[in-house]
Structure 1
């Protein structure tokens, strides 16, 4: 399983527009084959801070996702909302076996 944390720092006066623009990306990504979950989380302590938490079946699913129209369209227009470039962390994880 691949876990991705994409951290966004959004200009506070553009948060509402950012949330409107990211909604189609979230909805379309959740319907992709290989997607386990795709959730945008708002930091409750830091203004304008969000993290996209993505879980994917495997790296092939991530590669497919990164080539979709909804992803490439969002990544082309989203920088106008950022105060700094996104901070992306990718993890290769395995579920912990229950004992």
Structure 2
């Protein structure tokens, strides 16, 4: 199993748009073959800091996800909405 953690710090002015975009991303990702879980968490200390935690059955499922339309749309949006570069870490479980 592959686990991915992505820390996202959003520009305050883009927060509402970010939440809408992540809902589409989460909903679409959960429907993908090989997805175990896909969740967004908000920091308890800063309302503009989020953690996306994903679990996938294998690397092939991750690669398929990375080429999906909903992921591509989110990545394009995130480039305009994040206050800091995306911080992604990948783990094997």
- TM-score bracket, shorter-length normalisation: over 0.9
- Name 1:19's counterpart in structure 2: 19
Relative to the length of structure 1, the TM-score reads 0.90
CA RMSD, Structure 1 to Structure 2 (Å) = 0.9
Relative to the length of structure 2, the TM-score reads 0.95
Q: Distance in 1 between matches of 2:47 and 2:77?
A: 21
Q: Which one has the largest radius of gyration?
A: 1
How many residues of Structure 1 are paired with residues of Structure 2 in the alignment? 93
Dislocated runs of 4+, deviation >3 Å: none
Deviations along 1:52-92, whole A, 9 cap, x unmatched? 00000001000000000110111012111101111000001
Q: Distance in 2 between matches of 1:29 and 1:11?
A: 24
Q: Distance in 1 between matches of 2:61 and 2:21?
A: 23
- Name 1:29's counterpart in structure 2: 29
Structure 2, unmatched stretches of 5+, are none
- Name 2:5's counterpart in structure 1: 5
Structure 1, unmatched stretches of 5+, are 94-99
Q: Distance in 2 between matches of 1:88 and 1:22?
A: 16
